[in-house]
């Protein structure tokens, strides 16, 4: 998910820097290595100077733009990714590699069958680490909890935040809370840890007996129900998590018939663009998924991703991509 530098985010960075400056000044006189902290203080002052001069977020090597999502997590940055030194680049790649590794260990099995349901997903980070969130949690009751989301920002910061949200939701599910409370609690914990600075879209669903599905959609891309030749879009039921302390997270219920498929995705799917800038979009997604209606779900998901790759051709992949399908089999 993209982040932009706005006057508000620059003002926020200024506040943050002033507060950190005070803390540094307080600790320097007592520190065992005051020089190292004094150098950090100089960097903070330099960043404050860039804000004053209106050059905050401008790369001091090429005059290009420092990537906003990097700037949000570290306002001291003054070099764009392209202009990093070899050593800085190696350090960044190492961080990304570690973050990506942590993420891959969190992924659920690529497909599973449970009590009349068949589920499968594809997850493709654009870089080494991703802000996309996917999880499948089979319950002892025979029901299946499924989650898909997208954390604001990119790279290491987004992927760590995604891991945090993943751990939070997993713990809440293990506590066997009523479904309707899951999102409230997850939001509260996430909100307390990000202080309104960052947010995540998150869709949480539970598939139960006789095709019963409960959904709570916190600002995530609208799910699509494929039923024969028709495609029904289900709008979000609330705002993303992390924006407010206590927003309402209503639950919607629906019943899927045998053969119906619930399709969930991140914006990396619908916003994937071809060389001319045309987006893949909902219509192409529905068409691709409908073509794959009668084959096993795992192959259907793979088929949609292949269609998308063909559509994109040689144009570069800029966002993480996650596609999930849940079909009622009996
Ligand atoms: Zn640059």
Q: Ligand 1 centre and the CA of 278: distance in Å? A: 28
Q: Ligand 1 centre and the CA of 28: distance in Å? A: 32
Q: Ligand 1 centre and the CA of 296: distance in Å? A: 47
Q: Ligand 1 centre and the CA of 85: distance in Å? A: 11
Q: Ligand 1 centre and the CA of 15: distance in Å? A: 25
**What pLDDT is attached to residue 4?**
65
Q: Ligand 1 centre and the CA of 87: distance in Å? A: 15
Q: Ligand 1 centre and the CA of 129: distance in Å? A: 22
Q: Ligand 1 centre and the CA of 90: distance in Å? A: 17
Look at 131 and 307; give whichever has higher pLDDT: 307
Q: Ligand 1 centre and the CA of 74: distance in Å? A: 16
Percent of the chain scoring above 90 in pLDDT: 65
Average pLDDT value over all residues in the chain: 90
pLDDT digits (tens, 9 = 90+) for 252-291: 999 999 999 999 999 999 999 999 999 999 999 999 998 8
Q: Which residues surround ligand 1, an ion (CB under 5 A)?
A: 59, 61-62, 64, 80, 83
pTM of the model: 0.79
**What pLDDT is attached to residue 1?**
59
**What pLDDT is attached to residue 239?**
93
Q: Ligand 1 centre and the CA of 81: distance in Å? A: 7
Look at 309 and 153; give whichever has higher pLDDT: 309
Q: Ligand 1 centre and the CA of 62: distance in Å? A: 4
Percent of the chain scoring above 70 in pLDDT: 98
pLDDT digits (tens, 9 = 90+) for 151-198: 887 777 788 888 889 999 999 999 999 998 999 999 999 998 876 678
**What pLDDT is attached to residue 157?**
76
Q: Give buried/exposed letters for 194-224 (b at 16+ CB in 10 A, else e).
A: beeebbbbbbbbbbbeebebbbbbbbbbebb
**What pLDDT is attached to residue 195?**
67
Q: Ligand 1 centre and the CA of 59: distance in Å? A: 5
Look at 197 and 220; give whichever has higher pLDDT: 220
Q: Predicted confidence band at 3 (pLDDT cuts at 50, 70, 90)?
A: low
pLDDT digits (tens, 9 = 90+) for 62-90: 999 998 878 887 899 999 988 988 888 88
Strand partners, 133: 149
Secondary structure string (H, E, C) spanning the chain: CCCCCCHHHHHHHHHHHHHHHHHHHHHHHHCCCHHHHHHHHHHHHHHHHHHHHCCCCECCCCCCECCHHHHHHCCCCCCCHHHCCHHHHHHHHHHHHHHHHHHHHHCCCCEEEECCEEEEEEEECCCCCCCEEEEEEECCCCCEEEEEEEECCCHHHHHHHHHHHHHHHHHHHHCCCCHHHHHHHHHHHHHHHHCCCCCEEEEEEEECHHHEEEEEEECCCCCEEEECCEEEECCCCECCECCCCCCCCCCEEEECCCCCEEEEECHHHHCCECCCCCECHHHHHHHHHHHCCCCCHHHHHHHHHHHHHHHHCCCCCCCCEEEEEEEECC
Q: Ligand 1 centre and the CA of 76: distance in Å? A: 15
């Amino acid at each position: 998910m993209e982040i932009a530098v706005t006057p508000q985010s620059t003002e926020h960075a200024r506040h943050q820097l002033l507060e950190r400056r005070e803390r540094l000044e307080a600790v320097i006189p007592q520190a065992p290595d005051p020089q190292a902290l004094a150098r950090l203080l100089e960097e903070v002052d330099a960043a404050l100077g860039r804000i004053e001069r209106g050059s905050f977020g401008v790369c001091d090597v090429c005059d290009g733009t420092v990537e906003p999502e990097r700037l949000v997590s570290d306002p001291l940055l003054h070099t764009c990714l392209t202009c990093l030194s070899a050593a800085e680049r190696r350090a960044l790649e190492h961080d990304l590699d570690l973050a990506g590794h942590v993420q891959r260990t969190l992924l659920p099995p690529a497909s599973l069958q449970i009590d009349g349901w068949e589920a499968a997903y594809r997850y493709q980070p654009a870089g080494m680490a991703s802000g996309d969130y996917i999880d499948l949690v089979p319950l002892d009751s025979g029901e299946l909890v499924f989650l898909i989301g997208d954390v604001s920002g990119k790279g290491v910061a987004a992927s760590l935040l995604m891991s945090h949200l993943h751990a939070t939701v997993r713990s809440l599910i293990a506590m066997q809370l009523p479904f309707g409370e899951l999102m409230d609690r997850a939001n509260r914990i996430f909100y307390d840890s990000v202080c309104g600075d960052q947010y995540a879209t998150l869709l949480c669903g539970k598939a139960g007996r006789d095709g019963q599905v409960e959904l709570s959609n916190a600002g995530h891309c609208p799910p699509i129900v494929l039923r024969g030749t028709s495609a029904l879009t289900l709008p979000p039921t609330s705002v993303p998590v992390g924006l407010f302390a206590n927003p309402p997270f209503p639950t919607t219920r629906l019943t899927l018939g045998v053969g119906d498929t619930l399709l969930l995705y991140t914006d990396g799917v619908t916003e994937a663009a071809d060389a001319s800038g045309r987006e893949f979009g909902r219509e192409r997604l529905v068409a691709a998924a409908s073509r794959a209606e009668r084959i096993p779900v795992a192959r259907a998901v793979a088929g949609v991703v292949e269609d998308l790759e063909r559509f994109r051709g040689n144009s570069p992949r800029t966002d993480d991509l996650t596609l999930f399908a849940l079909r009622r089999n009996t």
